[in-house]
Amino acid sequence: MSLPRSNTATGWLLAAPLTLVLAFFLVLPIIMIVIVSFWGATEFSIYPAFQFDNYKFLFGSSVTWAVFGNTFRYALITWALTLGIGFTVAYFLAFHVRTLTWQITLALICTVPFWTSNIIRMISWIPFLGRNGIANSTLLSMGVIDQPLEWLLFSDFSVMLTFVHINTFFMIVPILNTLLRIDKSLIEAARDGGATGPQILWNVILPLAKPGIMIGTIFVLTLVMGDFTTVRFMSGSQSANVGRLISNDVGLLQYPSAAATSVVLLCTVLIVVTGLLRLVDIRKEL
């Protein structure tokens, strides 16, 4: 019997397809980006090299710091809002909706916006929020305002609104998953110990929902920090985040510079995610 050996071989064979796919489509491109980030560029050409010019320029420019700051600002505000809305929705679904059928139905309704593309969902805000859009004309006709609100569209407001709209679902699902796993008798035990509703929320439900909150946080932060279309469409090209910095460089064929910015963004996101994983052990949720 040569079972152990054939087992090893089978193991490698089974792992091979995914390993190859990941190596070709994930690892290799990232290596390419890292290599190109050290290349040089002129206005009309790029040439292989090993120089730190791109990084020097990147870290030396005040624009970089401002844009990274803005990216973090978008990410943090979106995170706070999606967490607030997502937790509330998940809490409602888990503890106030009594039957499994309704829980599933309502959770599926949350996915309805995903039946169309991200871009269409973004653009659909424009006629709503525009100067003569539905929001402004309704408010005008109700007499709440006498002049159209200018900050509704092509502003930080519209960017954040869209981010929250698109990403809240990624917060709802993991939190709902953890909340549904909370044993209902724990809540009875807490009530037996004299805990009020808010005390139960703070002392029992929130601590037990931490892994779900953390997974949702990672989803939302990585999606928002890597985004460039939302900021472009919804700010009317008046705000920038790192994604737009990269896409601008690509548009100008400044691939080495774009690659360097990408590497810095990738490292930033990895540091943030590593930090978050240190805070909460999410392995028991997976």
**Given the rule CB under 8 A, which of 110-118, 119-127, 148-156, 187-195 is the region that contacts other proteins?**
187-195
Identify the residue among 129, 204, 245, 258 touching other proteins (CB under 8 A).
204
What would the two tokens of residue 278 be?
A: 């240190």
Rounded CA-CA distance 113/124 in Å is: 11
**In which residue are the tokens 């139960």 written?**
200
Q: Does 43 bind other proteins (CB under 8 A)?
A: no
Which residues are registered as beta bridge partners of 46?
Answer: 41
Residue of 170, 153, 71, 154 lying closest to 118 (CA atoms): 170
Q: Which stretch binds other proteins (CB under 8 A): 85-93, 180-188, 247-255, 261-269?
A: 180-188
Segment near other proteins (CB under 8 A), from 110-118, 156-164, 202-210, 220-228? 202-210
* DSSP-assigned states of every residue in 213-226: HHHHHHHHHHHHHT
Taking each helix axis from N to C end, the angle separating 156-180 and 206-225, rounded to the nearest 10 degrees, works out to 140
> Quick check: 192 binds other proteins (CB under 8 A)?
yes
Residue 117 to residues 87, 109, 133: CA-CA distances in angstroms? 25, 16, 22
Q: How many helices (H) and strands (E) does the chain have?
A: 15, 2
Q: How far is the CB of 212 from other proteins (least distance, A)?
A: 13
Q: Does 180 bind other proteins (CB under 8 A)?
A: no
Distance CA 150, CA 11 (A): 61
Q: Is 203 in the site for other proteins (CB under 8 A)?
A: yes
Query: CB of residue 214 vs other proteins: minimum separation in angstroms?
Result: 14
Is 189 a binding residue for other proteins by CB under 8 A? The answer is yes
Element (H, E) at 47: strand 46-47
Answer for which of 99, 117, 132, 185 binds other proteins (CB under 8 A) is 185
Q: Is residue 83 close enough to count as binding other proteins by CB under 8 A? A: no
Nearer to other proteins, 43 or 192 (CB): 192
Q: Which stretch binds other proteins (CB under 8 A): 93-101, 113-121, 138-146, 195-203?
A: 195-203
Say whether residue 281 binds other proteins (CB under 8 A).
no
Return d(Cα 189, Cα 195) in angstroms, integer. Answer: 9
126 in contact with other proteins (CB under 8 A): no
Spatial separation of the C-alpha atoms in residues 210 and 100, rounded to whole Å: 23
Q: Residue with structure tokens 């028991």? A: 284
Show the tokens assigned to 50: 């090993």
Contact 171, 86 (CB under 8 A): yes
Stretch touching other proteins by CB under 8 A, among 19-27, 190-198, 229-237, 273-281: 190-198
Should residue 280 be labelled a site residue for other proteins when binding is judged by CB under 8 A?
Answer: no
Q: Is 213 in the site for other proteins (CB under 8 A)?
A: no
| Residue 43 vs 183, nearer CB to other proteins | 183
Question: Residues in contact with other proteins, total (CB under 8 A)?
Answer: 17
Stretch that binds other proteins, among 31-39, 114-122, 123-131, 191-199 (CB under 8 A): 191-199
Residues that bind other proteins (CB under 8 A): 183, 185-186, 188-196, 199, 203-204, 207-208
